[in-house]
Amino acid sequence: MGPSVEARSIVVSVEGMTCNSCVQTIEQHIGKINGIHSIKVSLEGKNATIIYDPRLHTPESLQAVVGDMGFDATLADSVP
């Protein structure tokens, strides 16, 4: 990876997902957003691990994106 590539990861708690189609919708939708490197959603863990470019996103903006989709998103507090 070149020095220009920046990536940070956060875990967002997501409430309101009940099935795999919810998971897929979130992964597809968020994965398409510019500045998102990857996203992994866990139905059992009720959370989403997002690897993103910190120049384009903040934890708050990512929370808002998930929230706009109609799910309750909260930032996990253990992330620096």
**H or E stretch including 22?**
helix 20-31
Q: To the nearest whole angstrom, how small is the minimum distance from the Cβ of residue 20 to another protein?
A: 9
Rounding to the nearest 10 degrees, give the CA dihedral for residues 27, 31, 33, 38. 130
Say whether residue 71 binds another protein (CB under 8 A).
yes
Q: Which of 10, 11, 12, 26 binds another protein (CB under 8 A)?
A: 26
Q: To the nearest whole angstrom, how small is the minimum distance from the Cβ of residue 77 to another protein?
A: 23
Residue 27 one-letter amino acid: E
Say whether residue 12 binds another protein (CB under 8 A).
no
